[in-house]
Amino acid sequence: MHSKAELVARASARAARYNQSFSQSKLDEWIKQGLVQRGERQKNQGLRPIYVFSRAHYRRVLQIARLRAGGISDRDAILLQLFVRGYSIEPHDIRTELATEYARARAKLNAPVRSVSADTFGPVRGKRRESLLKQMGQLDPRFDKAGVGVPNEFYIQALRLGRMPDTDSTSKHGRSIASPFTAITSASTLFSGMFYDHGSDDDPIKLLISLSTDAQIKIASGTLRAIRAEAQRAIKTGNFSAVEFDAASTAYHALYQREFLALMLVFLVKMSAGAEKPIS
| pLDDT at 178 (0 to 100) | 46
At 11-22, the pLDDT tens digits run 999 999 999 999
pLDDT tens-digit map of 23-73 = 999 999 999 999 999 999 888 888 888 889 999 999 999 999 999 999 999
Above 70 in pLDDT, residue 280?
no
| CB contact at 8 A, 216 and 266 | no
Q: Which band of pLDDT confidence, cut at 50, 70 and 90, is reported for residue 166?
A: low
pLDDT higher than threshold 80 for residue 226: yes
Of residues 6 and 189, more confidence is placed in 6
**Predicted pLDDT at 176:** 45
Q: What pLDDT does residue 27 have?
A: 95
Predicted confidence band at 275 (pLDDT cuts at 50, 70, 90)? Answer: low
Average pLDDT estimate for 143-150: 68
Please give the mean pLDDT across all residues of the chain: 83
pLDDT at 165: 79
- pLDDT tier for residue 175 given thresholds of 50, 70 and 90: very low
pTM: 0.81
- Give the separation between CA 131 and CA 114, rounded to whole angstroms: 10
User: Residue 189's pLDDT band (boundaries 50, 70, 90)?
Assistant: low
